[in-house]
Structure 1
Amino acid sequence: MQTENLIAAGFTDPVFQSQAAFRAVLAALSEPGTLQTVSGAILPPDGLCAATATALLTLADYETPIFLPQQLRDGPAGAWLRFHCGAAILDAPAGGAFAVIDGASAAPPLAAFDPGHDQFPDRSATVLVQCAALTGGESVTLSGPGIAGSRSIAPQGLRPGFWAEVAANAELYPLGVDLILSCGDALIGLPRTTQIEETA
């Protein structure tokens, strides 16, 4: 087998690393806007940052289809997720329990992902948005559950109109997707309950 066809390793200590990653994801979503770091980061496949790959390796399995854009789906990232998670990799956003998108890409919009249903709002998609950086960009103010007063974040590498999409998603509550912004080995959670105010 040629080197370029080899699938990179996943967790070296699955129990410890998955538990630590789960705690980081849980903290990110329960305390929106806080910067969380995945410990014991893995070497991710091309196209996925360490935080995205670690979160999916922790949360996804054969029962949770994953949407990937074509360049990821047809490359090392798709093969890596199929092998390590056993998950189906989808080419359409609507059916994914999880999804990975490039924050700078114009498509797909957040509205394309499954917002859940009236009887089962918890069955909505979780969308991992890969960013150029999680600090140093234009600031937005967050409020809502898990935030005392307000909290500001300033990620970089997000498409024009992204925050308007996030605000529209929050208006769907109790439906709506949950978001995880990721870069390197860090992530920020933005659950559907979080209200967004763009800084003038």
Structure 2
Amino acid sequence: MDLGLDGGFADPVLQSQAAFRAIMDALANPGTVQKLVAPGSPTSSIPLELVSTLLTLSDHDTSIWLDDSLRADSAVLQLVSFHTGAPVVREPGRAAFAFAAGAEHLPRLDQFNLGTQEYPDRSTTIVLAVPALTGGPDLIIRGPGIKDHGRISPVGLPEDFIGQWSANRELFPRGIDLLLVAEGAVLGLPRSTRIAEGH
């Protein structure tokens, strides 16, 4: 299968709308797992969840950053060019959206666009593919959209994630938002969320 030509949604309008709703619900209800609409089944190395979010969030006016492994995959670049026309930037700080196939490929969070006090919404939203959304170390989350507190346990977060996230949270209203994707689903962690190790 040709990822660039055939790797998109079978029904682009309906499926991208459904995926967009899932992403918005994930950010409005931090820590909840929302089912993502899957595109075709490409034979490429890129996780289908990354394809789904990339197709949904990117367009020709949206600068995106791809990690080295994705940028080195000609099929991924063809997918971006054919289906979205989004400009691919090499500097994380210039990206509206960033896509990484694993935490080992992700720069520190503060390397991305953190927005400004006047335009905090111009910060980068990072989409990180992880091995699983449950089964990892227990984390407690608090903040808007969470009643009292919630618990999440994604597998494969970056090293020193709690420290990096705490520094990101202190920048509010600036800071990045994070989408974790795996197993056909998405979990949202907006910048307003506080994250601590579970006990």
Q: TM-score, normalised by structure 2?
A: 0.92
1:186 alignment counterpart? 185
1:66 alignment counterpart? 64
CA deviation vs aligned residue, 1:127-172 (integer Å, no higher than 9, x gap): 0111111100001100000000100000111232022211211111
Report the CA distance shift for 1:44/1:95 in structure 2 as closer, same or farther (over 3 A). farther
Distance 1:12 1:52 in 2: 16
One-letter amino acid matched to 2:188 = G
Deviation at 1:44, TM superposition (A): 4.9
Report the CA distance shift for 1:4/1:16 in structure 2 as closer, same or farther (over 3 A). closer
Q: How does 1:125-164 map to 2 (within 5 A)?
A: 125-164=124-163
Q: How does 1:1-200 map to 2 (within 5 A)?
A: 7-44=5-42, 46-75=44-73, 76-105=75-104, 107-200=106-199
User: Which residues of structure 1 form unaligned runs of 5+?
Assistant: none
Across the aligned residues of Structure 1 and Structure 2, the Cα RMSD in angstroms comes to 1.8
Distance 1:65 1:45 in 2: 25
Report the CA distance shift for 1:61/1:106 in structure 2 as closer, same or farther (over 3 A). closer
User: Which residues of structure 2 form unaligned runs of 5+?
Assistant: none
The percent of aligned pairs where both chains have the same amino acid is: 40
**Count of aligned positions:** 198
Contact kept in structure 2, 1:106 and 1:159, CA below 8 Å: no
Secondary structure of 2:6's aligned partner: coil
Q: TM-score, normalised by structure 1?
A: 0.91
Distance 2:106 2:12 in 1: 34
Report the CA distance shift for 1:5/1:119 in structure 2 as closer, same or farther (over 3 A). closer
Secondary structure of 1:25's aligned partner: helix
